Amino acid sequence: MRLTGLRRIAELLDNAFLVPGTSYRVGLDPIIGLVPGIGDLISPLFSVGMFLHAGELGIPKVVMGRMLVNVAIDTIVGAVPVIGDLFDFAWKSNQKNLALLELHAREERRGTAGDYAFVTVMIVLVVALAALPFMLLGWLLSAIGAKFF
């Protein structure tokens, strides 16, 4: 079942490893997030897949909106140097979104054309959120460069 695959990936990204001496778990998402540039793109890419499956499962739009809020918080705060990296270890948006999917997937409702249109808008928003820090950095660098040249 597709939820099983999503569950495995969410587990890998958010809870794959036990922090020695504690009961706290971390995943690959915050570790990969430490890599400058591409690290902050991993979680939004997985979120795109979750939104596709949410549309196929007929998840209510309000639930997908809540999922988008989780992704937005993860993406925006996660893009802040140092603070965002620390935040990524605590904020587990993949697990939060998976819980929402699992809760509402049991309703056995087929996706409609409106659901798919909404999912498309959600995916565009996730991609825009992921690109926003890079666009701001480019704007900042061009503004600084314009002052010196």
18-74 residue pLDDT tens:
999 999 999 988 888 888 767 777 777 888 888 888 888 878 888 888 888 888 888
Does 146 or 15 have the greater pLDDT score? 15
Beta-carbon contacts of residue 83 (< 8 Å; ≥ 6 apart): 77
Tell me the two tokens of residue 131. Answer: 């690109």
Using alpha carbons, list the distances in angstroms from residue 141 to 45, 68, 83.
26, 29, 21
Whether 17 shows a pLDDT value over 80: the answer reads: yes
Tell me the two tokens of residue 114. Answer: 């409106």
Buried-exposed string 82-101: b where 16+ CB fall within 10 A, e elsewhere: eebbebbbebbbbbbbbebb
Interatomic CA distance for residues 93 and 71, integer angstroms: 6
The residues that bridge with 25 in the sheet, in sequence order, are 18
Please, are residues 98 and 6 in contact by the beta-carbon 8 Å criterion?
Answer: yes
What are the extents of the domains in the chain?
A: 2-144
Q: Is 65 exposed, middle or buried (0-12, 13-18, 19+ CB in 10 A)?
A: exposed
pLDDT at 22: 92
pLDDT at 23: 92
pLDDT in tens, 93-148: 889 999 988 888 776 666 677 877 887 888 888 888 878 878 888 888 888 776 66
